Every structure is written in structure tokens, then in C-alpha cells.
Amino acid sequence: MSELDEEYGDRIYFNVIPAEQTAQSAEELESFGFTELKHGMVGFAANGEVLVKVPGHNYGKERIEEVVEIVLAE
């Protein structure tokens, strides 16, 4: 994430939620549709609106950059 933060950090805020905190957020996970995998990536607009939800855990840089571009396009 540090590489992406270095590249996009002046235009987007990255927040990686630790597993311990994720485990305490069952309601929020459910609202994003991540109940089965318990992992996911959510891209928000500046106003807090959810723009994109990607379930799973291992995306690779390319998929993360796709989400970044969706957020930046907003």
C-alpha cells in the first residue's frame, strides 16, 4: 500500500483496517456484502458515498488501481 499511497496519496486517502478491527465490524461487513469472505475493498467518494465494493482479500496492484481510478473519476 505504501507504493500506492506514494503514487496517489495527494489525491486519495488509503485506510487499511486491521484484522482485529475488522472482526469487530460484522454489521459493517454485512452492509458491504462481505459476510462470506469477511474481507473486501470499498471505494468511497469524498462525501462518503460508496462507489465500488470488491469482495475478497488478494487483488493485486492492477485491481486496486482500477478502484482508485473509479474513486478519482467521481
Model-level pTM? Answer: 0.80
The pLDDT, as a whole number, for residue 10 is: 92
Distance CA 42, CA 54 (A): 6
Q: Which residue ranges make up each domain of the chain? A: 2-73
Q: What is the DSSP string of 56-67?
A: SS--HHHHHHHH
The pLDDT, as a whole number, for residue 63 is: 92
Judge whether residue 19 has pLDDT over 90: no
Judge whether residue 68 has pLDDT over 90: yes
Confidence of residue 37 (pLDDT cuts 50, 70, 90): low
Distance CA 43, CA 30 (A): 16
Using left for φ > 0, alpha for ψ between -120 and 50, and beta otherwise, residue 55 falls in beta
Provide the grid cell at 26. Answer: 460484522
